[in-house]
Amino acid sequence: MSFEEKLVKALEALGAKDEASVRALFVEVRDALESEKRTLLSTPAANDADRMERAKALRDRWLSRRNGLLAQVDEHWLKPASRELKPVVGLEFNQLRQLAKGLEVEELIKSVAVDSRSAVVGRDPNDPEGLGAGKGKGPTQAAEAIGFDPTLPGNRRPLGSIHPITRVQREIEEIFLTLGFWIESGPEIESVYYNFDALNIPESHPARDDWDTFYIDSQTVLRTHTSPVQIHAMEKYGAPLHIIIPGKCYRRDNPDATHYPMFHQIEGMAIDQDVTFADLKGTLDFFAKRFFGDQTRTSFHPSFFPFTEPSGEVAVSCPICDGQGCRTCKQSGWIEVMGCGMVHPEVLRRGGIDPDRYSGWAFGLGVERYAMMKYGIHDIQLFYQGDLRFLEQF
Ligand code: FA5
């Protein structure tokens, strides 16, 4: 069976029932990825356009969000993995994702460029210093072989770049992946039950006004936050659980400098035995230092969310003025960056987890806010106006 055929089968159907057999499957996938990359780099291209086209095709084959090979690993191996195998599948999947970063077109073009330069000077790409001298072709033949005239001025072809929101989302994901969390996702079109009721927000609760949204019909909404995926994940995997949930959310908010009707959140959730608020504080303090810099301090204030008890807001010392007070932090020295708390026992129960045996914490943050702080952007609307003068800066 080819590795591609294996990707559309569940681990169980492939007989992968322990860590060793899961690892062996991932080795096969990684080998295939590296071999396809090597083939691309070593096959001469007719011209720049041909090279770019082939680089994009390889990138899409592996990384296309919809049906790329990595998406299939996610769909058929990671998501349905049993509770016992989930950690090793998650770990292997993360390593595969790291490796697959080398297939982004910018990276491939860089590698091709290094390869081409090596060929032009008649050197082996694995021997850029030419230590195995005499083996390479002469400069002219090599340049002809790859259809490249080094005497001509270079052709600059505009490359798309990664949207700042995606960039920041990936950066946050990486921090939690290194801590052993895995990525979970859920539907953007959500039932009223998961968006509200299961999160301890009954129909009469005033919090429904704060999270007013777009209704598809009386029982179906565009989700207002990523928190409903807490319930989906608990139902699916039970405890213990360590996940982050990035995704789009929608609210009936008028656009202004800090609000948009569509935005992105990242939810985090950890459930296990004896999990305490101290674990939550330690994890979020670590995260803040990684994202904003080692000098960052965190501060927790009491707050209210119906699905956590106790609940809090986390503030970080202003990364612009280091807590001295400036325009960005409105002279307070602090910036609020997320809501959090201990998962309410009723929410655990709704997810099918026994609150007498397990406890957990959760947080939710707005990605746009992080991107605005990171890049000093003062109007959220810039992210979604599609203005190239703005986007090309990233
Ligand atoms: C929530 O949505 C909670 N679900 C977060 C949570 C999860 C708390 C788990 C406790 C435990 P809140 O409504 O404050 O909380 O939204 C979180 C973040 O989403 C906000 O801080 C803000 O950065 C972002 N956000 C909310 N509405 C918008 C909007 N219209 N435009 C852009 N960002 C928004």
Give the tens place of pLDDT for each residue, 58-91: 999 999 988 899 999 999 999 999 988 998 999 9
Confidence of residue 142 (pLDDT cuts 50, 70, 90): low
Range in 70-84, 135-149, 218-232, 284-298 the model is least confident about: 135-149
**Which of 338, 343, 367, 373 to mutate to test ligand 1, by most ligand atoms within 8 A of the CB atom?**
338
CA of 264 to the centre of ligand 1 (A): 9
pLDDT at 119: 44
Query: What residues contact 258, with CB distance under 8 A and at least 6 apart?
Result: 369, 372, 380
Q: Over 80: is that where the pLDDT of 138 sits?
A: no
For atom 26 of ligand 1, the residue with the nearest CA is: 366
CA of 287 to the centre of ligand 1 (A): 18
Q: What mean pLDDT do residues 159-178 have?
A: 95
Q: What mean pLDDT do residues 13-26 have?
A: 92
Task: Report the run of H or E that residue 246 belongs to, with start and end.
Answer: strand 241-250
CA of 211 to the centre of ligand 1 (A): 9
CA gyration radius for the chain? 25
pLDDT at 124: 47
For atom 31 of ligand 1, the residue with the nearest CA is: 259
pLDDT at 62: 94
Calculate what percentage of the chain has a pLDDT beyond 70: 90
Domains in the chain, ordered, with CATH? 3-145 (no CATH), 164-391 (3.30.930.10)
Q: Where are the alpha helices (DSSP H) in 238-366?
A: 277-292, 345-350
- Nearest-angstrom CA–CA distance, 210 and 208: 6
pLDDT at 116: 52
Average pLDDT, the chain: 89
Q: Over 60: is that where the pLDDT of 126 sits?
A: no
CB of 189 closer than 8 Å to CB of 222: yes
**Which of 265, 277, 367 to mutate to test ligand 1, by most ligand atoms within 8 A of the CB atom?**
265
For atom 10 of ligand 1, the residue with the nearest CA is: 340
CA of 128 to the centre of ligand 1 (A): 51
Q: What mean pLDDT do residues 124-153 have?
A: 56
**Which of 208, 253, 263, 266 to mutate to test ligand 1, by most ligand atoms within 8 A of the CB atom?**
263
| pLDDT tens, residue by residue, 186-239 | 999 999 999 999 999 999 998 888 899 999 999 999 999 999 999 999 999 999
Encoded tokens for 299: 């501060």
pLDDT at 159: 77
pLDDT at 158: 77
pLDDT at 140: 60
CA of 365 to the centre of ligand 1 (A): 6
CA of 35 to the centre of ligand 1 (A): 43
Range in 46-60, 234-248, 279-293 the model is least confident about: 46-60
Q: Over 50: is that where the pLDDT of 382 sits?
A: yes
CA of 357 to the centre of ligand 1 (A): 29
| pLDDT tens, residue by residue, 249-259 | 999 999 999 99
Ligand 1 pocket at CB < 6 A? 225, 227, 251, 253, 259-260, 263, 265, 267, 305, 308, 339-341, 362-366, 368-369, 380
pLDDT at 157: 77
Q: What mean pLDDT do residues 125-148 have?
A: 52
Q: Over 60: is that where the pLDDT of 298 sits?
A: yes
128 DSSP 8-state letter: T
- Nearest-angstrom CA–CA distance, 137 and 143: 9
pLDDT at 237: 96
DSSP code per residue over 325-350: --TTTTTSSEEEEEEEEEEPHHHHHH
pLDDT at 290: 97
**Which of 305, 307, 308, 377 to mutate to test ligand 1, by most ligand atoms within 8 A of the CB atom?**
305
Calculate what percentage of the chain has a pLDDT beyond 90: 69
**Which of 165, 200, 227 to mutate to test ligand 1, by most ligand atoms within 8 A of the CB atom?**
227
CA of 358 to the centre of ligand 1 (A): 26
pLDDT at 92: 93
Q: Nearest Cα to 291, choosing from 171, 159, 184, 393? A: 171
pLDDT at 123: 42
Q: Over 80: is that where the pLDDT of 324 sits?
A: yes
In the numeric block, the tokens 């920041």 are attached to 168
CA of 325 to the centre of ligand 1 (A): 24
